[in-house]
Amino acid sequence: MTHKLLLLAGDGIGPEAMAEVKKLIAVMNENGASFVTEEGLVGGCAYDAHGAAISDADMAKATAADAVLFGAVGGPKWDGVPYDVRPEAGLLRLRKDLELFANLRPAICYPALASSSSLKQDVIEGLDILILRELTGGVYFGEPKQITDLGNGQKRAVDTQVYDTYEIERIAAMAFELARTRNNHVTSMEKRNVMKSGVLWNEVVTATHKAYSDVKLDHMLADAGGMQLVRWPKQFDVIVTDNLFGDMLSDVAAMLTGSLGMLPSASLGAPDAKTGKRKALYEPVHGSAPDIAGKGIANPIAMIASFAMCLRYSFDMVVEADRLEAAIAAVLADGLRTKDIMSDGMREVGTVEMGDAIIAKY
Ligand code: NAI
Ligand code: MG
């Protein structure tokens, strides 16, 4: 069976990081895998080519693909372009049109990097947790959303948090399913003490849990959850939370373990009624890093680890995903470091050399 991938490398360091994944895909294909890749434009480069952050033609390719690999978009060159065609609009359209309602952000501590965390080594060593953030609902999208002039020198800003039962059900179900492939433990975070959406969130997660009673479920208030993440993150396995809390908590969790250049993510949609396949987009957490673009020093690990997530979640290639993640860990254990994660006594390498080393260990 062939796997159709759309590669959208984007701007800045996006193409540099994507080039390492392309080499890896070629090697995997030589060894019996059957990835078919197409490429498209997204972000500033798409705007330069046809005045939109992603063209309808590339959007159609994304819809037809089994998975999208996304690099990064944006940069100072496009700071002045109109709001609805700014580079980020390409990513937002992909998320919206593919209905990618779930954002998976792992926080993994590679043993070789445990001593460079800002937290104590025993707090962080061996950490492997997953934050599951609802991505298409909540306060970022709820209506009304406006600023009104009250006419007395005052203005009033309104954002609205809205969640329907089905939106909570599907993200909760995904959390329980993911937990079953990990350590069987879900912690749901909301603020039911002050928010009606938190009351419903708690209720629906609890009801959804009935079909997954083999998985342990805890509820935690999101602010307390933030404290616990920093105090003893290893108490968690899967954390499921709404769009706003998830945005913050996933950034906090990510930084427990080191550099932006290390962090992968996945955004998944609902399974197709006929094929059971989910729409999916995989991307590093970092942006286009204009300050280092073109210098050959970007860390490709976030992009490569995003591809490992693609193997795991889109293609059920669990063995290959494990092997790729082990290859990353092994290269780090050998002391290879890009500039962003460099420390005393280690060997500094560029993007290409890091990619080659990981491929050699794979
Ligand atoms: P950024 O993530 O691009 O860079 C922040 C800092 O981290 C920079 O110093 C950069 O050099 C470093 N960094 C990031 N990724 C790295 C890697 N792989 N290897 C080594 N160092 C790395 O965030 P920033 O500077 O806030 O934004 C730059 C541009 O990227 C902006 O136009 C922003 O809008 C865009 N952006 C795009 C995102 C996306 O495509 N999903 C996400 C975040 C920002
Ligand atoms: Mg964020």
Domains of the chain: 1-110+258-362 (3.40.718.10), 128-256 (3.40.718.10)
Report pLDDT for 271: 86
| pLDDT over 80 at 136, yes or no | yes
- DSSP-derived secondary structure letter, 315: S
Report pLDDT for 116: 78
Expressed in angstroms and rounded, the spacing between residue 320 Cα and the centre of ligand 1 is: 28
Q: Which residues are catalytic?
A: 140, 191, 223, 247, 251
Cα(229)–Cα(234) distance, rounded to whole angstroms?
8
Strand intervals (E) in 242-342: 264-271, 278-284, 336-337
Half-sphere exposure of 277 (CA within 13 A, CB side): 16
Report pLDDT for 256: 86
Report pLDDT for 142: 93
Mean pLDDT for the chain? 96
Strand intervals (E) in 137-274: 142-149, 155-160, 185-190, 216-221, 238-241, 264-271
Residues near ion ligand 2 (Cβ under 5 Å): 247, 251
Token digits of residue 60: 């159609």
Confidence class of residue 200 from pLDDT cuts 50, 70 and 90? very high
pLDDT in tens, 296-344: 999 999 999 999 999 999 999 999 999 999 999 999 999 999 999 999 9
The answer on whether 123 is annotated among ligand-binding residues is no
Q: What percent of the chain has pLDDT over 90?
A: 90
pLDDT in tens, 1-39: 899 999 999 999 999 999 999 999 999 999 999 999 999
Rounded (to 5) percent helix, strand, coil in the chain = 45, 25, 30
Predicted structure pTM score: 0.95
Expressed in angstroms and rounded, the spacing between residue 312 Cα and the centre of ligand 1 is: 25
Cα(246)–Cα(264) distance, rounded to whole angstroms?
15
Report pLDDT for 144: 96
Is the Cβ atom of 74 under 6 angstroms away from ligand 1?
Answer: yes
CA-angle at 331, arms to 330 and 337, nearest 5°: 140
Confidence class of residue 257 from pLDDT cuts 50, 70 and 90? confident
Cα(100)–Cα(305) distance, rounded to whole angstroms?
19
pLDDT in tens, 146-183: 999 999 999 999 999 999 999 999 999 999 999 999 99
